[in-house]
Structure 1
Amino acid sequence: MTRITPFTSPLLLGFDAMEKTLERIAKGNDGYPPYNIERVRRDDTSGEPDSLRITLAVAGFSEDDLDVTTEENQLIIRGRQTETGERDYLHRGIAARQFQRMFVLAEGMQVSKAQLKNGLLSVDLIRPEPVRMVKKINILVAE
């Protein structure tokens, strides 16, 4: 049986990678850690464009436990806490659990900074103004 997706249209050429990315995102969403995405408006006089900020609740993670990377058009945030065997817990309600969060970035999006403060990891994204290019395609006349 052949699977029909919106990307099988003959008008959408070269979108295979996007379809695979959407499938991967749909499978890997367990809700941990919780996050917010907000638009950060800049002052009109500064000339800087608005940016986006992704904030993850990563209480208990240190800077060394977190890894923020970009790969192709994806922002990948990983967290891994190391177990220390020197503690003797009477009750353990805070699990040292690892996570991986992936966000698909639009073409041209760039990470400007990442900051850890009060158990919140904030990652700022900017999108520089794209350079508008018009390219003339010459038409060859067949003889």
Structure 2
Amino acid sequence: MISHIDHVVLTVADIERSVAFYQRVLRMTPVTFAGGRRALAFGRQKINLQTLGQEPRNRAAVGAGDLCLIAGRPLPEVMAHLAAEGVPLLEGPVAKSGAQGPIESVYFNDPDGHLIEVSVYPGASAAPA
């Protein structure tokens, strides 16, 4: 019935700070949509950003997100880029289980405390970034 995730929404304290972080650290593309809302696009997905209380239908909290993103580059390159950007790792690389099998992951927090996991499938060829 479900084929894939189109977008997820993160609740953040400062939307433009988050846009700058994800653009700089994870090379996502900033997007403006629906009368000024902000998002970050990558591949065929996006992360929509909202501030606390902006969406009354959910029980959002700033920093409560936990995302696993698949990298299009080898994990050592990702780790070197994170280090160059001053992003401290919380854990990793560690073996984990992804949606399609075993993955290797590193973990860090975004500026609001969302837990971000960047992973690779061992043996998978890296996608162009």
TM-score bucket of the superposed structures, by smaller chain: under 0.3
Structure with bigger strand share is 2
Which protein shows a greater Rg? 1
Larger RCO, structures 1/2 (Cα 8 Å, 6+ apart): 2
Structure with bigger helix share is 2
